[in-house]
Each structure stands twice: as C-alpha cells, then as structure tokens.
Amino acid sequence: MTEPRNPGMSSTAPVHPDATSPAVEMDPVEYTLRKRLPRKLPKRRNDVYVNMKTDFRAQLARCQKLLEGGGHREICVHGLGLAINRAINIALQLQTSSQGALQLAANTSTVELVDDLEPEDPDEAGEPMTRTRNNSAIHIKVFYPDPQ
C-alpha cells in the first residue's frame, strides 16, 4: 500500500516544461515551472490510482487483493497521462488472470491541470502566471458480471 504515502497519488504525468500550451509563451530562462497536483476527488476503498513510481507488480497485487480478499465486486482503476498505459495493463492482466471471469468497462476523461510559472526575477517580470493544460485520464471499471 504505497498510495497513502504519496499525496500525489494519482499519477503525476511527466509533462515537460516545453509542453504545448498555446496560451502562454514561456521562456525557460525567465520562468520556473511549478506543477501543482491534479485535483483530487474523494476516494473510495475500491478506487485504485495508478502511478508510475510504485512498482507495477505491487499495484497489480493490490488490485488482486481488493478483488479476491477484499470482497469487492468491482474496482476502479484510474490512470492519468503517462500512467494510462499502466492502468490498461493492470486491468488486462487482472482479466487474464481471472480466466475471463472479470469484465472491463473503460471510460476516458480529460483532467485539467494547473501550472505555476514563477518569474526568475520577480521584481520586474510582473505577475507570475498560472496556466492550465489538459491531460487525458482513463477510468477502468473491473467487475464480476452479475450472474443473471
């Protein structure tokens, strides 16, 4: 259970300073980029936020534990940005290892992220800027279908 340790438990996607943002022209010499954490929503027990820092096997094991030992009929695997791949991977692995007993339902969404641009020379550069950018996210519901 590595997640509670990391406040940034939903994956912080690696976004480079020169990420595409048409709104603001940023000169990397003049500004420091500081990424804020993505907005968090309340988390249920059966929500799994996948990140790129924790070991893959650990995250997979965690999902399996929730499904088998935890007694949940369904879990939600969330991935943001770079972690989308991993979220899909986890979901598929879960399905394979259950020999088809599990079903998947995937949803995608867009998450708005906030960056702070701090001017290097704060006295002259005026207002530090804040910009928003969008990133994709995936939410995969992994569940046992009802017997009926």
When binding is defined by CB under 8 A, the residue of 21, 89, 98, 116 that contacts other proteins is 116
CB within 8 A of 37, min separation 6: which ones? 7, 8, 12
| CA separation for the pair 135, 112 (Å, rounded) | 6
Q: How far apart are CA 38 and CA 117, in angstroms?
A: 16
Whether 106 and 138 have beta carbons less than 8 Å apart is answered as: yes
Distances (CA, A) of 53 to 58, 118, 136: 11, 26, 19
Instruction: For other proteins, give the closer residue by CB, 12 or 59.
Output: 12
Part of the chain binding other proteins (CB under 8 A), chosen from 63-71, 95-103, 126-134, 138-146: 126-134
Determine, following the binding rule CB under 8 A, whether residue 134 of this chain makes contact with other proteins: no
In 3-state terms, what secondary structure has residue 31? strand
Contact region with other proteins (CB under 8 A), list: 73-81, 86-94, 97-105, 112-120: 112-120
Judged by CB under 8 A, the chain residues 70 through 109 that form the site for other proteins are none
Site for other proteins in 9-68 (CB under 8 A): 12, 14, 16, 28, 34-37, 39-42, 52-53
Count of residues that bind other proteins according to CB under 8 A: 33
DSSP 52-92: SSS-HHHHHHHHHHHHHTS--SEEEEEEETTHHHHHHHHHH
Binds other proteins (CB under 8 A): choice among 58, 68, 103, 122: 122
Which residues are near other proteins by CB under 8 A?
A: 2, 4-8, 12, 14, 16, 28, 34-37, 39-42, 52-53, 112, 114, 116, 120-123, 125-128, 130, 132
